[in-house]
Chains A and B, each alone.
Chain A
Amino acid sequence: MDYAIEVEGLTKIYGDLKAVDNISFKVKKGEVFAFLGPNGAGKTTTVEMIEGIRNPTSGKIKVLGYDISKTTKEIKERIGVLPQEFISFERLTVKETLLYFSRLYKKRADIEQIIDLIDLRDKKNAQYHTLSGGLKQRVGVAIALVNDPDIVFLDEPTTGLDPRARRDVWNAIAGLKNQGKTVFLTTHYMEEAEYLADHIAIIHKGKIVAEGTLEELINKYGEKSKLLIKGCKTKEVMEVLQKTGYDEMQARNETVEVKIKKREAVIDILFHLREKNLYYREIDIKHSDLEDVFLNLTGAKLHEEVA
């Protein structure tokens, strides 16, 4: 049994809306699997169906080899969930919160170890409502670990956090992977998927539009890398580049943007510019990212908000 989660033909219909439209995927044991998509794409609906919070309209879900429509008790003992926008009991301390949830399970992880793993030692005796947003989310991640689960589900664990708090949560999640846990992550932040995920599924309007490792996705759906030559005489630079065989380019203000296939092309271009005594203020290389992948796949932006 190599797969932690197997989903086949999963569909969820609300009235006329197909929130999740016949999706199938598999999550390998021990990997961080990211479900990436904009708000309303169907991420949470999907993950909540796998967690048993919602009933699917149709489709099959297997978690750790068990069919979730038949076996729930065993699965519940072996998964840990951080629901979307989770807020715990306000007046319990961090430690009491972890103890509360751990006592619901037969198998219990060492609370002190979790506190250290998620870096909550200083806040162990602080009441939950006094914690910052980032700390609350880390407590949420810690709660998802109290039963030493095989699979950890994290539904948008960093939404609404500032960049630093987000980084702290990422470190906590990266720590899980080192422990050999399977992590199922939903997010609409491409940096999050890029930073954490071994395997990424891009979901848009209820459908998985692409799936693979970060590299696979960018190679297949991303743009070529671009070399940006800033602060130069654009006309002359473009002439030189055209003569040396680069034709995908455009000029803006004092910057020339040229698409390149390989890293070596950078050296080639710079050599030709020097040969012709063409000067530039600075150069920049822009690699394609998941944002480009998503744009190319769907024609839409991943999200509008500024992180």
Chain B
Amino acid sequence: MNLKIIANDFLASLKNYYRSKGTLFWSLAFPILLILLFGAIFSGSEGSYTLYVKNYDYQNGEFIASILKQNETGMEFIGNFTNFYDAIYHQLNLTNVTKIKIIKDSDASNEKELQEYIEANKGKIKSLMVIPKNYGLKLGMAIAEKNVTKAENITLMLDPSETQRNAVIMAVLSQFMNQFNLMIAGGDNFARFNTTSIIQKEYEYIDFFIPGIIGLSVMTTSIYGSIERNTKFRKNGILRKLLTTPITRGEWILAKMLFMLFLAFVSTSVILLVGILVWGVSVQINIYLFILIISASFAFSGMGMIVTRFVKDEETADSAGGAITFPMMFLAGTFFPLEIMPPFLQIIAKILPLYYVNEGLRDAMILGDKAGALFNSIVIFIFAIIVFAIGVAITSWKEE
């Protein structure tokens, strides 16, 4: 290893890089444009708010409905529904401001599971209505006995940071309950709710997006860089030329990887800077961030090497690079969370290396989830060692 040769190659790469406006645009300006664009698109207010509902009393709904149907006003309230709660969901959906989403018993059937469910869907569940067990029966008894205190409360869990959203949902729900009380119980506060807070840090879309765009940027830079080195440089005779000079393949690869890492950290810094200055993202810089970016650079460079072992033509190799990066970009949770995809796609996402890079970066930088960051770092680190070793082993400067 000759450090001077490595430094020489690094500097040449750097000059060749910053003098190419196209490369500069795609590697630096493009990710920034994406952040500005997507940040702006998703920072706007939503059309309707999803109101999650956990109903422990659903199975009693039919019984309550049958009782209510015995008088005219009750009949009017229930309409064609056979379940009291379906009628309530229907009324709330009719407002066009809230959209009801039921948390199934299979997802959470008790307090503890509900907490876990909220935890697992961090950032998604911003308002949750909890209907306690036997709510309907107690409400019926209270109305029959004209004793308001016998009725139970519905709990509305809210994300305290979402003030506007909370105001809207609370308004919708209290209006609905007032009407219900007027219709069924002559105005007294039989149906009512109290609010609690959903204990979780609140994340904006941009918090989700910044780590994703860093992962994307490192991936494309590494894969295409490696493809260019092994196709264009081969076609142009640069690799043949180097083979006749004293530089070793090890020195060359090391120099190029150092340059790739340099690029990765430059684009990461620029992306973070824009994220912080424009969108006020708060990020944590820790060791996992470095491990993940270094591992990702090696892993994706290795993948590029493997591609060019089989596809020697420059244009075809670029297309092959696209065939790898594009699906990964969309499936591995760069632009939107995995949870909104169908389950089979979520399974596919979990075999994609970029998924672990993205998840790891989010855990490390945004969520502060050390265990998650460590897990994802280990996955991508091991993957990088294997793929890069294969890439180096099967790439030869020699001609057949």
* Interfacial residues, chain A to chain B (CB-CB below 8 A): 14, 48, 51-55, 73, 76-77, 79, 81-92, 96, 100-101, 103-106, 127, 143, 147, 153
Listed A/B pairs (14) with beta-carbon separation below 8 Å: A53-B243, A53-B397, A76-B245, A86-B236, A86-B240, A88-B238, A90-B16, A91-B16, A96-B15, A101-B241, A104-B245, A104-B247, A105-B245, A105-B246
CB closest residue in chain A, given B243: A53
Interface residues on B, range: 20 to 34
Across the A-B interface, give the 3 residue pairs with the lowest CB-CB distance, nearest first. A87-B236, A83-B237, A91-B19
The minimal Cβ–Cβ distance linking A1 to chain B, given in whole angstroms, is: 21
Q: Is the CB of A14 within 8 A of B4?
A: no
Q: Is the CB of A55 within 8 A of B398?
A: yes
The minimal Cβ–Cβ distance linking B328 to chain A, given in whole angstroms, is: 29
A77 to B245, CA, bound (A): 7
B389 within 8 Å of A (CB atoms): no
A92 to B236, CA, bound (A): 15
The minimal Cβ–Cβ distance linking B320 to chain A, given in whole angstroms, is: 22
The minimal Cβ–Cβ distance linking B308 to chain A, given in whole angstroms, is: 17
Q: Which chain A residues border B245 with CB–CB below 8 Å?
A: 76, 101, 104-105, 147
Q: Is the CB of A48 within 8 A of B240?
A: yes
Q: Which chain B residues border A76 with CB–CB below 8 Å?
A: 244-246
CB closest residue in chain A, given B2: A104
Q: Which chain A residues border B241 with CB–CB below 8 Å?
A: 81-83, 86, 101, 143
A87 to B314, CA, bound (A): 14
Q: Is the CB of A88 within 8 A of B236?
A: yes
- B330-344 contacts to A (CB < 8 Å): none
Q: Is the CB of B236 within 8 A of A127?
A: no
The minimal Cβ–Cβ distance linking B49 to chain A, given in whole angstroms, is: 52
Which of A14, A77, A85, A92 interacts with B246 by CB under 8 Å?
A: A77
Q: Which chain B residues border A81 with CB–CB below 8 Å?
A: 240-241, 244
B399 within 8 Å of A (CB atoms): yes
Given contacts A96-B15, A100-B9, 5 further A-B contacts (CB under 8 A): A54-B400, A73-B246, A79-B244, A83-B240, A104-B247
Q: Is the CB of B15 within 8 A of A91?
A: yes
Q: Which chain B residues border A147 with CB–CB below 8 Å?
A: 245
The minimal Cβ–Cβ distance linking B18 to chain A, given in whole angstroms, is: 9
CB closest residue in chain B, given A77: B246
The minimal Cβ–Cβ distance linking B400 to chain A, given in whole angstroms, is: 7
CB closest residue in chain A, given B8: A103
Q: Which chain A residues border B399 with CB–CB below 8 Å?
A: 48, 53-54
B108 within 8 Å of A (CB atoms): no
A115 to B242, CA, bound (A): 21
Q: Is the CB of B237 within 8 A of A51?
A: no
The minimal Cβ–Cβ distance linking B117 to chain A, given in whole angstroms, is: 54
A23 to B95, CA, bound (A): 90
